[in-house]
Amino acid sequence: MILDARTIALLFLDALSACAALLAAWIALRARLGRRPAAELEGLSSLLALALGLLLFLRVLAWAGLFLVLEGYVPSLAENGVMCAFGVVQLRPELAHLALWAKPVAVLALLSWWALAAAERDATGAPFQRLRFALALPIAALVCAELACEARWLFADKLELAVTCCRSALDPARTAEWFRSTAVFGLSSAGLLGCLFAAKAALLAACAWLARRRPEPRLAWTLALAASSLAVAFLDLDAWREAVAPRALGLEFHRCAYEIVTRSVALGPVALLAALAHLGLCALPLLALVRAREPDGVRRASAWIAGAAALGFGTELLALAVHLA
Note the pLDDT of residue 181. Answer: 55
pLDDT in tens, 229-241: 999 999 998 888 8
Range of the domain at 60: 1-180
Q: Tell me the percentage of the chain whose pLDDT exceeds 70.
A: 89
Note the pLDDT of residue 3. Answer: 85
Average pLDDT over residues 245-268: 77
Note the pLDDT of residue 34. Answer: 57
Among 131, 146, 180, which residue terminates a domain?
180
Residues 176 and 235 placed together within one structural domain of the fold:
no
CA 81 → CA 58, 76, 86, 153, distances in Å?
Answer: 32, 10, 11, 19
Task: Give the DSSP H or E segment for 152.
Answer: helix 129-155
Residues 105 and 118 placed together within one structural domain of the fold:
yes
Residues 148 and 232 placed together within one structural domain of the fold:
no
Q: How confident is the model at residue 324 (pLDDT cuts 50, 70, 90)?
A: confident
Note the pLDDT of residue 184. Answer: 63
Do 128 and 120 contact (CB within 8 A), yes or no? yes
Q: Is the pLDDT of residue 185 over 80?
A: no
Average pLDDT of every residue of the chain: 87
Do 89 and 263 contact (CB within 8 A), yes or no? no
Residues 208 and 126 placed together within one structural domain of the fold:
no
Note the pLDDT of residue 179. Answer: 47
CA 309 → CA 64, 118, 226, 282, 292, distances in Å?
Answer: 19, 15, 12, 11, 24
Among 148, 165, 180, which residue terminates a domain?
180
Residues 79 and 205 placed together within one structural domain of the fold:
no
Residues 10 and 158 placed together within one structural domain of the fold:
yes
The total number of structural domains in the chain stands at 2
Do 143 and 107 contact (CB within 8 A), yes or no? no
Average pLDDT over residues 124-134: 86
Whether this prediction's pTM lies above 0.85 is answered by: yes
pLDDT in tens, 97-120: 999 999 999 999 999 999 999 999
Note the pLDDT of residue 186. Answer: 67
Residues 102 and 212 placed together within one structural domain of the fold:
no
Residues 51 and 119 placed together within one structural domain of the fold:
yes
Do 60 and 107 contact (CB within 8 A), yes or no? yes
Residues 176 and 236 placed together within one structural domain of the fold:
no
Among 122, 152, 180, which residue terminates a domain?
180
Q: Is the pLDDT of residue 176 over 50?
A: no
Residues 207 and 82 placed together within one structural domain of the fold:
no
Note the pLDDT of residue 252. Answer: 65
Residues 305 and 191 placed together within one structural domain of the fold:
yes
pLDDT in tens, 71-89: 899 888 888 878 888 888 8
Average pLDDT over residues 184-201: 84
Residues 207 and 323 placed together within one structural domain of the fold:
yes
Closest CA relative to residue 52, chosen from 23, 32, 15, 9: 23
